[in-house]
Structure 1
Amino acid sequence: MKPVVIIGCGDVGRRAADLLLARHRPVLAVVRRSERARQLERAGIRVHRADLDAPDQVATLPLEDVPVIYLAQPPQPGVDDPRMGHFLAACAAHPPRRIVYASTTGVYGDQRGAEVTESTPTGPQTDRARRRMDAENQLRDFMAAHGTEVVILRVPGIYGPGRLPLERIRAGTPVICPDEAPPGNRIHADDLAALCVAALDRGKAGDIFNVGDGEHASMTEFIYAVADLADLPRPPCVPLAEADKHISPAMMSFIRESRIIKAEKGLEALGVQLRHPDIESGIRDALEAASRE
């Protein structure tokens, strides 16, 4: 059996690898850093080291007729994704059977709090989202030219063990006051990993699925919930008009893009039941995992 190749095997990739190995499916994790390679090898995961910014290294990947989960982020700055370009150039001679790509719900841009489905027109408004849109377009072109099946998952904010804003809360960084905080969207890392694996098995060529927990809690609600469950003081809040003075530009770029991501289509089509359909369940799990480390 050919291995599932996981490009960019970080936290979510490791969780996907564990799911696959538990089902006796071989995995090949592609990473750049030697430290990460050693961590994965100690966990019993085969590793191929390659720098996605180096076409000669990407060309060494064993990609012919394999299933791929692609989780690597595009490089910054810019509005395109040359890493995806290098990867697909390496695929051209011996195309993979299927590629599952984790994109971003940011490709929809600011929807002013409206509901967003997979049929909502895209309109990325940040370079971060434009890079993901470029990667999606490259994949669609590759599918048309080479017949590789492509499934795209549009992903919101990811949280889980090691991904909670505990330091921000301890530092007392202000949040936007609850009555002005726009809706948010997120997914627990375990649930995203499960969706990636399900898309390998049950997605259809050309499928695009939004993913998310369906709760749409604002960033403020999420941070308050983390603080409460971690037994920490809630941070102070500031009016939206004053937020730029207290909250980082990167965080403000997320807050300014308001939308409610509808993710039911993917859950039904892929047959996935979320382990953490609400933030309280997911935060408790993340805190308990951290306490065991």
Structure 2
Amino acid sequence: MARTVLIVGCGDIGRRVARLESAEGRGVYGLARSPETAARLVRQGITAVHGDLDKPDSLAGLNGGWTTLYYFAPPPAAGDGDPRLAVFFEALPVRCLPGKVVYVSTSGVYGDCGGDWVDEERPPRPQTARSRRRLAAEEALMAWSRRYGVTVVILRVPGIYGPGRLPLERLCAGVPVVRQEESPYSNRIHADDLAEVCVAAGTRAAAEGVYNVSDGHPTTLTDYFHAVADHFGLPRPPAISLAEARRVLSPEMLSFVEESKRLDNGRMLRELRPRLHYPDLERGLPACSGGHPQGFQVAPCADGLRVFGHRPT
């Protein structure tokens, strides 16, 4: 039987996964909430399946039958769980469920670990509402898996970087970072490598359960901002104390500053065996220099610095 995949959440990572799956000759379908989204998916070689996760009635016609289901859609921005995920999996016809589900979660479900190395045996202890919603989605999906006997892979993903996924605007604005000696550890994965991990999780027969995803080279959050600034020829951001950061940084930024962990990606490497093109920032950042798809580009200026300007539309 020909292998087909459905991608729910055809954003940046979904499109990268679609390209990898298509390159292997697999039929790729994507959930589209509007005619405009459907047309965009078709232009990218993805067969559109109409449905809106916020409108349960729109999912009534799902036919099912896909070999692998990639679920990348985020939970709503408020609430305690993920009603979108619940609605979608309830709508799947029981007679033709997928053989495997790959779900992208967040490493934030571990909460603050004081800089410790963290493997998949670490009990989750989410500290933000966003992470609690992700853990609730994980638990709901695993309950569904036990009910129907479908293999589920949960990928706990840290910060994703790549073209269009760098803190360039923040650096240009001079937003401060926590001084090095107080800065938390952070983990990351290049967007291309995350797509490789997703496809490995979807294709390797033995893949099942929870996997930490990262390039395996955590640094402090301040090191990360310094590396990006240095690579693009921008001034390094000013450094402030953690106490001052709690007064001036946004709640979203504080959620990253106040959680420190180093992800152990050993299980991912042993069992999924993905091909990581960018196993550290030193090799990953040069692959981000081709421009910023969200409207910015990097160009030399007279004084030797680099500046960002809006691309013509």
Alpha-carbon distance between aligned partners in 2 of 1:236 and 1:184, rounded to the nearest angstrom: 19
CA contact (8 A) 1:151 1:203 kept: no
Alpha-carbon distance between aligned partners in 1 of 2:163 and 2:35, rounded to the nearest angstrom: 23
CA contact (8 A) 2:206 2:271 kept: no
Provide Cα deviations, 1:44-80, integer angstroms capped at 9, x if missing partner.
2212232111111223233235310100000121120
From the CA coordinates, give the structure whose radius of gyration is larger: 2
Alpha-carbon distance between aligned partners in 1 of 2:118 and 2:261, rounded to the nearest angstrom: 7
Aligned equivalent of 2:127, options 121, 125, 128:
125
Which letter maps to 2:110?
Y
Stretches of structure 2 that go unaligned for 5 or more consecutive residues are 299-310
Give 3-state SS (helix, strand or coil) of 2:256's partner.
Answer: helix
Q: CA deviation at 1:160?
A: 0.8
TM alignment of 1:104-123, pairs within 5 A: 104-123=106-125
- Confirm whether residue 17 of structure 1 aligns to residue 22 of structure 2: no
- Confirm whether residue 52 of structure 1 aligns to residue 34 of structure 2: no
- Confirm whether residue 69 of structure 1 aligns to residue 61 of structure 2: no
Aligned equivalent of 2:219, options 214, 217, 225:
217
Hey, what does 2:201 align to over in structure 1? 199
- Structure 1 residues 144, 155: CA separation in 2 closer, same or farther (over 3 Å shift)? same
Q: CA deviation at 1:93?
A: 2.4
Hey, what does 1:4 align to over in structure 2? 5
Alpha-carbon distance between aligned partners in 2 of 1:203 and 1:244, rounded to the nearest angstrom: 46
Hey, what does 1:30 align to over in structure 2? 31
Alpha-carbon distance between aligned partners in 1 of 2:228 and 2:60, rounded to the nearest angstrom: 43
Q: CA deviation at 1:263?
A: 0.7
Hey, what does 2:150 align to over in structure 1? 148
TM-score (norm 1): 0.94
TM-score (norm 2): 0.89
Stretches of structure 1 that go unaligned for 5 or more consecutive residues are none
CA contact (8 A) 1:174 1:246 kept: no
Bigger relative CO (Cα 8 Å, ≥ 6 apart): 1
CA RMSD of aligned residues (A): 1.8
Aligned equivalent of 2:240, options 238, 241, 245:
238
Give 3-state SS (helix, strand or coil) of 2:70's partner.
Answer: strand
Hey, what does 1:81 align to over in structure 2? 82
Give 3-state SS (helix, strand or coil) of 1:179's partner.
Answer: helix
The structure with the largest strand share of the pair is 2
Aligned equivalent of 1:271, options 249, 273, 283:
273
Q: CA deviation at 1:14?
A: 0.3
CA contact (8 A) 2:7 2:71 kept: yes
